[in-house]
Amino acid sequence: MMVGSILNPINSSMLAVALIPIGAAFGVPPSQTAWLITGLYLATAVGQPVIGRLVDLFGPRPLYLIGTAVVGIAGLLGALAPTLGVLILSRVLLGFGTSAAYPASMSLIRTEADRTGLETPVSILSALSIANQVIAVIGPTLGGLLIGLGGWHMIFTINVPLSVACVILGWLWLPRRPRSRTAAGLDYTGIALFSATLVSLLLFVMQPRPSLWYLAVLAVVLGIAFVVVQLRVVEPFIDLRVLGGNRPLMATYIRQVLAYVVVYSFLYGFSQWLEEGRGLSASATGLLMLPLSGTAVLITVITGRRAEVRGKLVAGSIVLVVACLAPLVADGDSALWMLALIGVLAGLPQGLNGLANQNALYYQADPDRIGSSAGLLRTCGYLGALIAAAANAHFFQHGATTAGLHALSLFLLVLGCVLVLVTVVDRSLAGIGRPQPN
């Protein structure tokens, strides 16, 4: 489960230090290489809940095997891509292929707990959080090392051995489940409307300007049609009645969006500034991001032994505000140790919020829809990532300058304060993970 689950965050984050080398290789500006990011995010945002629903219906094994096999094919395609268009296609395939492992893992953990009658050990959810949420920050470091060894092609080639390992391990160890449902009962109309709504919305979010007003209108119209269909069908793709009545789960989704706007703005914005504003190489930038990943992993390991989530979320949101303030003191002459310290501050909320939101969803979601619910959590994360991409494009429209970094930090500071408010007022978090009285 954990090997498969790292595929998505690794592929999402390795590209952070590869955009400039890829742009130079194909002779294209940043406005075109940005589609390498958004292509994967769009595919993942749509693919996670859709494949999660398929996991709910048909079990985790077949979806896991198919998805991880697609990752290997997409990685090989990207490594051999002759044009930027083919490279973007490989990223889209990577987005769909990597969407299977996380909802499959959450479904398997929940069904095994129900089958055995045993409570899921907190350590398992913590390990999955490390593989899914925290491993993303290792991506820039790994990407920088791979680029230094063999060029940008290596960040695609690495998917081939990882895919082979996932297929072998999944084939040998994932439990088989009798197929009790058929594809005939799948809500195809709901899936199509959901996908079209999400793509229209995300395309507008990526470039929110008046000339693209029709995308916002289209998203609203399609969204209304999606709601109408979901309220009428017997077995909807997303049960809006249940979801709408589950306010704690809705709050978890909102926290996920806010947290990941900040996380990905820092991941891409700070790393780009290190290369352009501070003048570091891709390899040096990757290494300088290592304290962020190390801190995130360490705080997840330390706090993951306790099942309670409220303390983690409150602390994570407060530290996130401090992390948003830290880049305001950085400039083109900042010492490397100070830049590493900023990474440490950013790693703390990454580990705390990622782990706590995942664990909250595990207890808040309907057990029969744990796969699609987990997929929606990841969709919220990538919605935050796309908002972050739009924010980076706005504040770095004249290059990754120090002034742009400071303006981005102030924008993120506002979102961080909203996250603190949303977390503190959510009283439902207090009971999650605490032993219930007999």
pLDDT of residue 434: 66
Q: What is the mean pLDDT of the segment spanning 3-30? A: 85
pLDDT of residue 40: 87
- The terminus-to-terminus CA distance of the chain in angstroms comes to 34
If asked whether residues 104 and 12 sit together in one domain, one would say yes
Residue 243 — pLDDT band, cuts 50, 70, 90?
Answer: confident
pLDDT of residue 136: 65
- Cβ(14)–Cβ(156) below 8 Å: no
If asked whether residues 207 and 241 sit together in one domain, one would say no
Q: How many domains does the chain have?
A: 2
If asked whether residues 263 and 288 sit together in one domain, one would say yes
CA–CA distances in Å: residue 363 to residues 36, 291, 379: 35, 31, 18
- Candidates 351, 350, 381, 355; CA nearest to 44 is 381
In sequence order, what are the beta bridge partners of 305?
none
**How far apart, in whole angstroms, are the C-alpha atoms of residue 19 and residue 33?**
6
**Helices and strands of the chain, counted as H and E runs:** 21, 0
Average pLDDT for the chain: 85
Residue 19 lies in a domain: yes
Q: What is the mean pLDDT of the segment spanning 221-227? A: 93
Q: What is the mean pLDDT of the segment spanning 373-389? A: 84
If asked whether residues 206 and 312 sit together in one domain, one would say no
Residue 217 — pLDDT band, cuts 50, 70, 90?
Answer: very high
**How far apart, in whole angstroms, are the C-alpha atoms of residue 129 and residue 6?**
10
Q: What is the mean pLDDT of the segment spanning 336-363? A: 87
If asked whether residues 245 and 213 sit together in one domain, one would say no
**How far apart, in whole angstroms, are the C-alpha atoms of residue 362 and residue 374?**
8
The residue segments making up the domain with residue 223 are 187-236
Q: What is the mean pLDDT of the segment spanning 111-126? A: 78
- Cβ(103)–Cβ(52) below 8 Å: yes
Q: What is the mean pLDDT of the segment spanning 422-426? A: 91
Q: In this predicted model, which residue has the larger pLDDT, 412 or 277?
A: 412
**How far apart, in whole angstroms, are the C-alpha atoms of residue 289 and residue 307?**
29
Convert the pLDDT of each residue in 146-162 to its tens digit. 888 888 999 999 999 99
